[in-house]
Structure 1
């Protein structure tokens, strides 16, 4: 019979939880009272230790590798913590999320798509490093830096391998079907922007500029300013900010977008961290677009930082909201990088919009003009007609 003495491999698995507590304490320790810090040692988890030992001694199947066990322990901890917005993100997904929020990444400049056989095919952008080095549309990716790419490889893993720091190189092996042969390429990564904003004038009325905002990244406020300036040149003098299906992003971005349209000394956001008094953020100067007529589109998938923009501009009667109530996410997450490239997203604060009635926590941000459920073909037209009516422009029935 095997000994039931403490297994040191088990305690090694607890090290990551210790590191999590240390990371949170170091990065935001002034929010945590010293006497409340949780001390982890071998006596804290007798049931977990016993279960691990039983699996090790009697389990028919081998235990997963240490990283899988560590990840499982973190997920179990968060499940017990019971906050849907405190989450653990593995390395590939964390890197992709970080790139999206930065609004750019180091890459080869190619789109990847799966074909009917689940192979990954590359489609280089015009004037991209991939195109200049000779990659062609439809080349099948079979290896990145000596890592084999198979039909089982996830898209996040492929993107993570292709992307990296600007100026670094990546080696690709592709298969070209037309020639039935493989080629190898050494490509130096360049900075590739990830646009979060698209814009155009309305075909129905070119006096109206439509700005679609897909994500609240660090580059989004500048992109919106560029969009408005371009649309003004094209003759637009009324503007729609389309925040439908915008799941949010950086809190600062939601604030900065609101600042574009508000005069000085207007409150935007009040945030409350644990053991800290509420702090209100307000505009410090007049924004560049304080006078332009503005409508904002929202729906139930408008969330987080996008709700900050919509709510602040509604509260200050600076924009008219058209659509359905927003999602209603009024918490702030701090992101802590872990040593293996994964991350822990921790709910650390709540926010509210001064002057917004009813408060966002009750029903989300409510629209001024409600768009009832319609068939998908007619839904967008209903939004546009409501915007034109809000602007008092001529509309078609």
Structure 2
């Protein structure tokens, strides 16, 4: 009798356990085995490594390795990193003014910030920084490289870079400064208001509204429209991208954020009231326009509120959430993808301009590599692509509109060809402006902007 019950009871117990629970239990068991392996490695390194190692450094190294294996944008922020991030977001820090990433152990420049030592010295997007003050930085972590570039304002630093098209490394000497990031600058050219947005920190939305109202006050009824310059803008805060988009929109969706599950969707909409009064808008983008800049460009493009002009953008379509772990540390984790109002994901592909216009006034631009999200290791895959699509860069030289050399443009007084093209396009789109030609803008663009 007793042996019979020994057989039946376990079978009955197994019968009431759902299959999914059993699978999860097995997976959990495998996870615990892997964690045991991690602890075994940790203990062996502590005991046998040739030099004594710090336990905290080992644990942080394991965390960083875990996050680095996910994507280029997830990372662990210790006290130093957390402070650096706050300084950048707040808009002030001591350094050179560079946005950088790592690729195969090398530090690669995404873009220099306007009016900073790096920009004035001539550092370009796509440059590889190999040495700082003669010291090789290849193989160091990104944060270590950033720490070396930052420092006390007024101190000297020399950067050695490798640039595609150059036969030898280039040296740039500069002084560190207090980098006060003014996210928005504006000016008036003729009857066109030009708004340059270089980053999206906590003041960008308010600064954009100030720029619009100031331009309107200056030009009054003569105002033909606006050029919003997002070139080499590496992005920033999501809420500020929404705020800037709302300046130019009267209604409709701006962006949606989608997480792991199909029901994890957040949508953000414009509030009633277009601050620009519906005047024509041209948005300038290039391969350095990323993240929040692409949200703005995609929203205005999909809502037929602006013509996007320039070159294909960077292609960062992921959202990072800052998760505090303690008072002085945090986890920056990729928690979702964002989509434009029409449902497009810009991940990898970027924003394709309505009018492709090269920057002819930069003589070295064609020889520099164009660094985009798709070039970064372990970047997220655009799940909306079927795998057969291939992005082909157009050959600018085949278009007669773009035949001028930098020297020829300089003789005409044009130092920024893309911006000049955009301002002339606004003049064509403005009510009462010259007759629009087929080369000036896509068919129907003027009608959509004069609503």
TM range, smaller chain: 0.5 to 0.7
Deviation at 1:44, TM superposition (A): 4.6
Unpaired segments ≥5 residues, structure 2: 1-23, 97-146, 154-178, 364-405, 410-414, 435-451
1:210 match: 194
Aligned residue for 2:314, secondary structure, equals: coil
1:183 match: none
Partners in 2 of 1:362 and 1:42 — Cα distance? Answer: 35
* Cα distance change, pair 279–37 in 1 and its aligned pair in 2 (3 A): farther
Matched, 1:288 2:323: no
The TM-score normalised by the length of structure 2 is: 0.55
* Cα distance change, pair 320–93 in 1 and its aligned pair in 2 (3 A): same
Any idea what the Cα deviations from partners look like across 1:194-249, whole Å, max 9, x if unmatched?
Answer: 421112223xxx31222111111221111011112222233254211110111111
1:219 aligns with one of 203, 223, 232: 203
1:349 match: 336
Deviation at 1:364, TM superposition (A): 1.1
Partners in 2 of 1:95 and 1:35 — Cα distance? Answer: 41
Partners in 1 of 2:425 and 2:295 — Cα distance? Answer: 22
* Cα distance change, pair 282–38 in 1 and its aligned pair in 2 (3 A): farther
Task: Please say which of residues 85-94 and 223-232 is displaced more in the overlay.
Answer: 85-94
Deviation at 1:284, TM superposition (A): 3.0
Partners in 2 of 1:246 and 1:316 — Cα distance? Answer: 21
* Cα distance change, pair 274–93 in 1 and its aligned pair in 2 (3 A): same
Q: How does 1:90-169 map to 2 (within 5 A)?
A: 90-103=78-91, 154=148, 156=150
Deviation at 1:304, TM superposition (A): 0.8
Supply the RMSD in Å over aligned alpha carbons.
3.5
2:357 match: 371
Q: How does 1:13-32 map to 2 (within 5 A)?
A: none
2:46·2:55 contact (CA, 8 Å) conserved in 1? no
* Cα distance change, pair 282–381 in 1 and its aligned pair in 2 (3 A): same
Deviation at 1:374, TM superposition (A): 3.4
Partners in 1 of 2:233 and 2:148 — Cα distance? Answer: 25
Number of positions where the alignment pairs a residue of Structure 1 with one of Structure 2: 280
* Cα distance change, pair 364–281 in 1 and its aligned pair in 2 (3 A): same
Aligned residue for 2:73, secondary structure, equals: coil
Partners in 2 of 1:36 and 1:284 — Cα distance? Answer: 50
Aligned residue for 1:363, secondary structure, equals: coil
Matched, 1:71 2:55: no
1:272·1:278 contact (CA, 8 Å) conserved in 2? yes
1:47 aligns with one of 37, 43, 47: 37
Unpaired segments ≥5 residues, structure 1: 1-33, 106-110, 114-152, 160-191
Aligned residue for 1:350, secondary structure, equals: strand
Partners in 2 of 1:101 and 1:36 — Cα distance? Answer: 44
Aligned residue for 1:274, secondary structure, equals: coil
2:168 match: none
The TM-score normalised by the length of structure 1 is: 0.62
Deviation at 1:343, TM superposition (A): 2.3
* Cα distance change, pair 360–43 in 1 and its aligned pair in 2 (3 A): closer
1:20 match: none
Partners in 2 of 1:232 and 1:37 — Cα distance? Answer: 62
2:296 match: 309
Deviation at 1:36, TM superposition (A): 12
* Cα distance change, pair 361–73 in 1 and its aligned pair in 2 (3 A): closer
Partners in 2 of 1:238 and 1:93 — Cα distance? Answer: 41
Partners in 2 of 1:35 and 1:208 — Cα distance? Answer: 65
